Structure 1
Amino acid sequence: MQLLAEQRGEVIVVQALGDRIDAAGAIQFKDRMRELTQLPSLRVILDLSRVAFLDSSGLGAVVAVMKALGPERKLELSGLTPTVQKVFRLTRMDSIFIIHDQLPEDFLPAKPGQCR
């Protein structure tokens, strides 16, 4: 699973670049997320807008990342596709995570010619 991370102040924004988080890549996803979130931050936002499929192993990996961050750091999710959103809703994990429809405005990449 390829992940792209950027630190913006007290927030690390991680974008999942693959289209699925499943049993085949869950361990790799979890390990890579641990690497990317080692820097101190108050929040981690995981952008899942490119992920079309998430199975129970993938969900377990996301939960494991949340637990690894500890209680003082929050893992927030953004851009859940309808299929992924359904997994979170059916398992009631949507009540555990802060879920944004899309990346908050402050964390969207700047458009050409636009300053942030």
Structure 2
Amino acid sequence: MTAYAFAHLRSVDVNAEIVEYLEKIDATLDAHGGRFLVHNKVPTVMDGSFEGVLVLIEFPSTEVAEAWYHSAGYQEIVDFRVNNSVGGAAIVEGVGPDYRAADMVAGK
């Protein structure tokens, strides 16, 4: 099942470490079949609040996404993001093409 790594970054200090992070992250994704779907975009907020930017990366599965996050290549640069931004990142499994919201109520 497709999985997504996402980050909600409320602020980013764009400095030499962030530049290095951006220069190196693509190579870490390539080895795991990851690709950016959204990168550093400010969403149009329809209700509630959402400060900052969104990053969304697609992976073939949760296992692959977690392997990417824990890979030597990504671990070499992850602190550059963590130490120079306010926000968080997570991995979530997607749903299949036939999924319907009512499936949650039905226990599927």
Q: After TM superposition, is the score higher than 0.5?
A: no
TM-score by length of 2: 0.32
Return the index of the structure with the highest Cα Rg.
2
Q: Looking at both structures, which has the greater relative contact order when contacts are Cα pairs under 8 Å and sequence separation is at least 6?
A: 2
Instruction: Please state which structure has a larger fraction of its residues in strand.
Output: 2
